[in-house]
Structure 1
Amino acid sequence: MTRPEGPNTLAITFFYYKDLPRAMAFYEDVLGLPLAIDQGWSKIYRVAEGAHIGLVDENHGMNSWTSEKPVQFCIRVPDVDAWYAYVEALGLPGQSELFVNDEIGIRAFVFDDPEGYQVEIQTSTRDDILL
């Protein structure tokens, strides 16, 4: 048996929420992500070309909401300082200080979304990293 060939057409990571409208407001109004696919109890937002995040009402999805969030949603941006000032002005929970990780070549900070998923905003500190 061989693996099917051909390009992937879309990437979606799904997060599960107790309060879907509140999560939608955060991803639309705070992060500015456009709604790409509306499936009713699942809302899929475009993050970048081919990359999406799906917000799911935990009462309908394949998984259940849990208070422990062992995942992080990361967005790479060209101006991490502007994003830091914006998030700081909003007073979002869990906001860290800006930090540099030379080992992986990023400058970043984190904060929490309305139900505790950690969001990282980062920029590359190295010219040899294409992403």
Structure 2
Amino acid sequence: MPGPFDQHVTFLYAEAPEACWRFYEEVLGLPLAQDQGTCRIYEIAPGSRAFLGVCRARAARVSDDPRVEGGAVVTFVVQDVEGWHARLAAKGVEIASAPRHSEAYRVTSFFFRDPAGYTLEIQRFERPDWPAADG
């Protein structure tokens, strides 16, 4: 049986990726791992082996609802959810609401969208069974 995967890349597609590239680089401050011309890949957390690629789309989006089949929500996990909320608000990002606690999932989070309309979430796990970032 093969071992665990070495890395993870989530790819998002945008009709006008330039606005997304600026958003992920300038607003979220993600380091560029590779520029492939029509696709840029960003490192999510240094040393995490997790990446986010934003590429030029070949067709229009089927649905804006992230909870339908084929939909997606990209979640960034961090302890300082409130600090990220303030940072994004200060940069003019439209945010659906202040950070909220979900007792059902035992997380605190908030949602917003990138320039291509993808739903993004900043989240803190508040449960001891979630693996720590350092191991």
Please state which band the TM-score falls in when normalised by the shorter chain: 0.7 to 0.9
Mean CA deviation greater in 67-76 or 26-35: 67-76
Q: TM-score, normalised by structure 2?
A: 0.82
Task: Give deviations 1:32-57, integer Å, cap 9, x for gaps.
Answer: 11111221111111112111111011
Percent sequence identity is 35
Q: Distance in 2 between matches of 1:128 and 1:7?
A: 20
Q: Is the 8 A contact 2:9 2:52 kept in 1?
A: yes
Q: Which residue of 2 aligns with 1:50?
A: 49
Q: Is the 8 A contact 1:88 1:95 kept in 2?
A: no
Equivalenced residue count is: 124
Q: Distance in 1 between matches of 2:114 and 2:60?
A: 14
2:52 partner letter: I
Q: Distance in 1 between matches of 2:60 and 2:95?
A: 20
Q: Is the 8 A contact 1:94 1:111 kept in 2?
A: yes
Q: Distance in 2 between matches of 1:124 and 1:6?
A: 27
Q: Distance in 2 between matches of 1:130 and 1:12?
A: 19
2:53 partner letter: G
Q: Which residue of 1 aligns with 2:89?
A: 88
Q: Which residue of 2 aligns with 1:128?
A: 129
Please show how residues 59-70 of structure 1 align to structure 2 within 5 Å: 59=58, 64-66=59-61, 68-69=63-64, 70=66
Q: Which residue of 2 aligns with 1:10?
A: 7
1:68 partner letter: S
Task: Give deviations 1:59-91, integer Å, cap 9, x for gaps.
Answer: 4xxxx3316242111000121110011112223
Q: TM-score, normalised by structure 1?
A: 0.85
1:66 partner letter: R
Structure 1 stretches of 4+ moved >6 Å? none
Specify whether residues 94 and 78 from structure 1 end up closer, same or farther in structure 2 by C-alpha distance, changes over 3 A only.
Answer: closer
Q: Is the 8 A contact 2:41 2:53 kept in 1?
A: yes
Q: Which runs of 5+ in 1 are unaligned?
A: none
